[in-house]
Structure 1
């Protein structure tokens, strides 16, 4: 488990069902979890959303990082947070510095990042000099002047979010300066091509800090990535254009569910899936989404085992627990996955040894009926 030098963790907020797939949301420099206030609750309908604060911002301790910090240090703090919550693999979306953390994780910890969204960010932040100068200014004079100018850096003319400006003003100067050190040292351009996670890039067309060209550079390097440009958005797009950001993120992070529905149809057949979907109600909708995403979108798509092998395992487990209605469905699935009646019979014979003769007797009756129905349908 990753541990922090102080033993402390990043301050965070968790929303959504505990059984939903985890989605970690990273902030921009000078902001807090409030940056996601208009987006996170909607994402939490289908995800376990975890928002985190940078060191010295919001509720995070300032001493989590110090002078000379790197984006890698911040990424390690995120991994420590994830592990404290029992999260091994997660989707990730981040703004600006939070987006840079996401890119670092996708490059250096690809096994942890299931899907990635990078918002108003960059693979580099225009060299060391401007950030070294800002760090020195903040260490010398504090954050008041920078906070006063924040709206012009963050938003289009005439728009502001006072709560975010106040977050900037009240951040710990030493921790803010250490984050500037991280941005000064950050340049991941040569490593972008190694990113394998499905990647979405969101650019604000009016963003002076990380203009669309910076996101386009990432899109050109990351195979299969998607770039979305938002008109009327500056640097803090989730605050200024929350509906547009939400729409893009929903489409991107729905990939597991869509893939799961496709695999579910391939294995169980269109008729079964159509019946299940037609019976879906508001009460059962989350469960159906969970089945599509987790059982079919993650487990059945894992290439470690073939679909034939998964059918063998599934039939055995269903016999062991006496789920004979489900067994009938998965005998049909086993035929679609290429198993012969003889192989199915061999599986059920083995269950007689390890699950008991009465269980196997019932299973043979179910399988014989299903196979006879299939023979009749083909004749």
Structure 2
């Protein structure tokens, strides 16, 4: 049973639209939410991103966990945070210990996890002994000495992120040691085949802590999981190779855009969408993604209104603003959504009253042309 925290919460930062699909980002031991600084802002274009700090790291209270802590407890803290934000179901990506939390959530709380990405992590962390030794060292001597080796454990030679190394140095020793206890006790290998959420495993090719073989073990056990290896990346891949990690996460968590593209084709037709895709350039790619994800993936899929009703509203709005090229496209869409020519005419007549006779006059001309073309096409 997952332990639910009382009172205090994990320190977190939410970015992106509150109506966008939620995505939680989990940190590695010794770091803070700053681990995601080069990735989270881009992900927040398409998601409601929630970054969180481990207990005793960044801004999270140290006394959220104690000696003998488990990944189950950390997962409980994440669920409590989600509940406090009114988030029932979410996607999740985590690094190292944060990735272990994601695996636990997907295996034990499948109703909460929409999609999962596990980065530079493992289903087990080589047993309890090395973590017991590290926890004892930190409890006795603090973190200053251990932080000196952070660069060699976290990054490829010659690379560093000073802010993350400072996070390591200033973390609370007791909370850090409790996280070591959690890593030492973690082994979820037997439950991996039960994970049903779409899963992506991301390995740093030069990661000495959780080498690619650890991620491959998870990918082989989780049904349908995909594995990506990132070159020139060690243990903190989102900090060292943010563009490669971002590309992998965008592709994996892009469900809203894919769903939106399906609806866009159903309403506007394959021919129109294919033409729009053919005209797409690097300059317009993000706008096309925005249209597919937001207009079609969120608004047109909202079950509050039927597609017929949405066509009625859209026709009126296009007449009001004089967007007659778009109007022609949406007259065709309205026919696909079940509107008769008589109903389309009634909408335009209503628009004449509230949007103006000249606007409706132009709209009738456009609609008549489109409907005549449809009549000719059907004989």
Q: When the two structures are superposed, what TM-score results if normalisation uses the length of structure 1?
A: 0.78
**SS of the counterpart of 1:203?**
strand
Give the direction of change, closer, same or farther, for the CA distance of 1:155–1:193 in structure 2 (3 Å limit).
Answer: same
- Alpha-carbon distance, 1:291 to partner: 5.4
Structure 2 distance, partners of 1:180, 1:100, is: 12
- Alpha-carbon distance, 1:324 to partner: 8.9
Q: Is 1:172 the counterpart of 2:165 in the alignment?
A: no
Q: Structure 2: any 5+ residue segments left out of the alignment?
A: 319-326, 344-349, 352-363
Q: Which residue of 2 aligns with 1:315?
A: 308
In the comparison of the two structures, how many residue pairs are matched?
A: 353
Q: Which residue of 2 aligns with 1:135?
A: 135
Structure 2 distance, partners of 1:223, 1:301, is: 28
Structure 2 distance, partners of 1:372, 1:136, is: 81
**SS of the counterpart of 1:25?**
strand
**SS of the counterpart of 1:151?**
helix
- Alpha-carbon distance, 1:83 to partner: 2.3
Structure 2 distance, partners of 1:247, 1:3, is: 35
Query: Deviation per CA, 1:303-338, whole angstroms, max 9, x where unpaired?
Result: xx9xxxx9x943257669995979855543346xxx
- The answer on whether the counterparts of 2:311 and 2:334 sit within 8 Å (CA) in structure 1 is no
Q: Which residue of 2 aligns with 1:160?
A: 160
- The answer on whether the counterparts of 2:92 and 2:117 sit within 8 Å (CA) in structure 1 is yes
Q: Is 1:333 the counterpart of 2:336 in the alignment?
A: yes
**SS of the counterpart of 2:148?**
helix
Give the direction of change, closer, same or farther, for the CA distance of 1:288–1:110 in structure 2 (3 Å limit).
Answer: farther
Q: Structure 1: any 5+ residue segments left out of the alignment?
A: 336-343, 349-357, 360-364
Query: Deviation per CA, 1:245-290, whole angstroms, max 9, x where unpaired?
Result: 12222222223313421342134312454687799999x9988645
Matches within 5 A, 1:196-235: 196-235=196-235
Q: Which residue of 1 aligns with 2:47?
A: 47
- The answer on whether the counterparts of 2:124 and 2:189 sit within 8 Å (CA) in structure 1 is yes
Q: Which residue of 2 aligns with 1:65?
A: 65
Q: Which residue of 2 aligns with 1:20?
A: 20
Q: Which residue of 1 aligns with 2:321?
A: none
Q: Which residue of 1 aligns with 2:358?
A: none
- Alpha-carbon distance, 1:48 to partner: 2.2
- The answer on whether the counterparts of 2:307 and 2:337 sit within 8 Å (CA) in structure 1 is no
Matches within 5 A, 1:253-332: 253-273=253-273, 289=289, 292-293=292-293, 296-297=296-297, 313-315=306-308, 328=331, 331-332=334-335
Query: Deviation per CA, 1:52-95, whole angstroms, max 9, x where unpaired?
Result: 10000000011111122211211121122222222222221110
- Alpha-carbon distance, 1:200 to partner: 1.4
- Alpha-carbon distance, 1:176 to partner: 0.8
RMSD of Structure 2 on Structure 1 (CA): 3.8
Give the direction of change, closer, same or farther, for the CA distance of 1:9–1:285 in structure 2 (3 Å limit).
Answer: farther
Structure 2 distance, partners of 1:111, 1:313, is: 27
Structure 1 distance, partners of 2:25, 2:226, is: 19
- The answer on whether the counterparts of 1:268 and 1:332 sit within 8 Å (CA) in structure 2 is no
- Alpha-carbon distance, 1:216 to partner: 0.3
Structure 2 distance, partners of 1:68, 1:330, is: 60
**SS of the counterpart of 2:196?**
coil
Q: Which range moves more in the overlay, 104-113 or 180-189?
A: 104-113
- Alpha-carbon distance, 1:213 to partner: 0.2
Q: Which residue of 1 aligns with 2:95?
A: 95
